[in-house]
Amino acid sequence: EDLERLGIREKAAKLLNSFSALSVRDDNSSEIVQVLTGKTPQLHIDPVLLYPFSEILLEKPEPFDYILVYAYNNRLRAEEAEQIQAFAKRHGKRLLSVNNFQDFCEEKRVASPLKVLSYFRFADYV
């Protein structure tokens, strides 16, 4: 929809088709690539979720317990946001988003790449 609205759908399709292989990190991106190219990309886990945090010293970024909401800006449906909020309330956690802001999160932060890793490392849930 956005590619169409911005008038770049054909250009995006051409550029994606110029790659010999494609991989994505989520189902939404997979669907977009399939629509634009007719090819099914490989699905891989986000590398930040695989990082061996024990290899670097990270300081706890917040003094409170939190759930890190990791999603593109405001791409979650209202129903999903409500479920996440209810889960956080049941578990006594605050909702926090980093660099990709979610309107329903109480806490929003801008962070460097290393600081982002610390938010992942010390989150009670992601």
Percent of the chain having pLDDT more than 70? 93
Averaged pLDDT for residues 63-84: 91
Q: Please indicate, yes or no, whether residues 12 and 28 belong to a single structural domain of this protein.
A: yes
pTM: 0.66
The residues near 25 (Cβ < 8 Å, ≥ 6 apart) are 43, 44, 45, 46
First-to-final CA distance of the chain: 28
Q: Please indicate, yes or no, whether residues 51 and 109 belong to a single structural domain of this protein.
A: yes
Q: Please indicate, yes or no, whether residues 38 and 51 belong to a single structural domain of this protein.
A: no
The range of the structural domain enclosing residue 8 comes to 2-43
Looking at the structure of the chain, the number of domains it has is 2
Q: In a 3-state reduction of DSSP, which class is residue 56? A: coil
Residue 37 · residue 16 · CB < 8 Å: yes
Q: Please indicate, yes or no, whether residues 66 and 25 belong to a single structural domain of this protein.
A: no
| H-state helical runs in the chain | 2-6, 9-17, 27-37, 78-91, 113-122
The whole-chain average pLDDT of the chain stands at: 90
* Residue 1 reports pLDDT greater than 90: no
Q: Please indicate, yes or no, whether residues 31 and 92 belong to a single structural domain of this protein.
A: no
Q: Please indicate, yes or no, whether residues 56 and 115 belong to a single structural domain of this protein.
A: yes
Q: Please indicate, yes or no, whether residues 53 and 34 belong to a single structural domain of this protein.
A: no
